[in-house]
Amino acid sequence: MKLKNSLTTILIVVISGFFIIANYAPTITWSGIGLQDHLLLINKAIFPDNQVHGVYAGEWWRVFTVALTHASWLHLGMNMLVLFQLGNIVERFYGEIRYSLILVASVVSASFASLLLDPVNQPSVGASGMIFGLFGAMVLTGKKMGVDYRQVMGYLVLNLVIGFAIPNVDWHAHVGGLIGGLLAALVLQALPRRRIQQRWE
């Protein structure tokens, strides 16, 4: 797998592209509000267009598109660096299809943890929940991937502690994504690789 052709690299380019458009083309609006406001995760709230928006208002896509949003260049850069480091390792081990399933399961579980545990009108942004899902997969199969298991666990604990310690960090999403990635990897390990390839390719 060449890094320039990897799904991880494509995902980094797409996420970074959405961040640039949302921040440097603010005149691009959809139904009266900006792109970021249409993509971030929130239960339900009144937006600047005086309309109620959010997952509980029927905008289900936010469960997935939250990964396309970030609060700042620093937030984006840190997440994309970790995604590049972890994502390519997990993708190389599982293959694109299984890797995609882990990512989807992670972002969905992270989003639902936020929706259930955060205040109704509190917005969440970022791909951190999805990235913590990669940690979950590596916790289960890190030794088989050939990575330093102690280093992975140390990095995971450090990131969890940072999430708890810094204000305004949605640690619910981090824990939810971690659990989602772990469970997805557990299920995928129990399924024959050939069956999944025949079904999805």
pLDDT in tens, 47-78: 888 889 999 999 999 999 999 999 999 999 99
Cα–Cα dist 55/128, whole Å: 19
pLDDT in tens, 122-173: 999 999 999 999 999 998 887 778 777 777 777 777 777 776 667 677 889 9
* DSSP state string for 25-58: -TT-EETTEEHHHHHSB-SSEE-TTS-EESGGGT
Full residue range of the structural domain in which residue 79 is found = 3-200
CATH code of the domain in which 95 resides: 1.20.1540.10
| pTM for this predicted structure | 0.86
CA-based nearest residue to 180, from 63, 61, 81: 63
The domain total for the chain is: 1
The residues carrying an active-site annotation are 128, 174
Cα–Cα dist 99/157, whole Å: 23
Cα–Cα dist 84/90, whole Å: 10
